[in-house]
Amino acid sequence: MTIDPRVQSEDQLRADLAWLRDIQDMPGVLETFVAGHAPRLFALVEQDLGLLEDAVFGWGLQFDDHAFVVVRGGTSSMSCSSADDAVTVLGVAGRNLRLVWHTPSADSTPGRVLKRRRVIR
């Protein structure tokens, strides 16, 4: 009889799965995993000399292999190969769009508890 070392007993498999679950429940483990795989957030800002302020035309997520954009108000969405391509495609209608990458502040880091301050004036 030959024993295959790749096959574990059911008890050992349950023990391994319990250990894996315990590791995932440790503070910061899943947050670190997600942060390493999270898409980058960007905005498409419409710059118009006639407007007093720039306006966010749409928001997007840049994944490893594509980008997904939702236009302001949710009126349309699109998937393209990159954030730069989204600027090109959506700018065809004569819009002056600028790609702005969002960098979250340290205060908005997942897993970090923010302290509230009471301001009395």
In this prediction, the residues of the chain whose per-residue pLDDT falls under 50 are 1, 3, 113-121
- Looking at residue 52, what is its pLDDT? 59
- Looking at residue 1, what is its pLDDT? 45
- Looking at residue 119, what is its pLDDT? 46
In the 3-class helix/strand/coil scheme, how is the chain assigned residue by residue? CCCCCCCCCHHHHHHHHHHHHHHHHCCCHHHHHHHHHCCEEEEEEECCCCCCCCEEEEEEEECCCCEEEEEHHHCCEEEECCHHHHHHHHHHHCCCEEEEECCCCHHHCCCCCCCCCCCCC
- Looking at residue 48, what is its pLDDT? 75
Read off the pTM: 0.62
Residues 110, 108: Cα–Cα separation, whole Å: 6
Are 82 and 76 spatial neighbours (Cβ–Cβ below 8 Å)? no
- Looking at residue 116, what is its pLDDT? 46
Are 28 and 112 spatial neighbours (Cβ–Cβ below 8 Å)? no
Cα 85 off chain centre by: 18
- Looking at residue 111, what is its pLDDT? 54
How many residues are there in the chain? Answer: 121
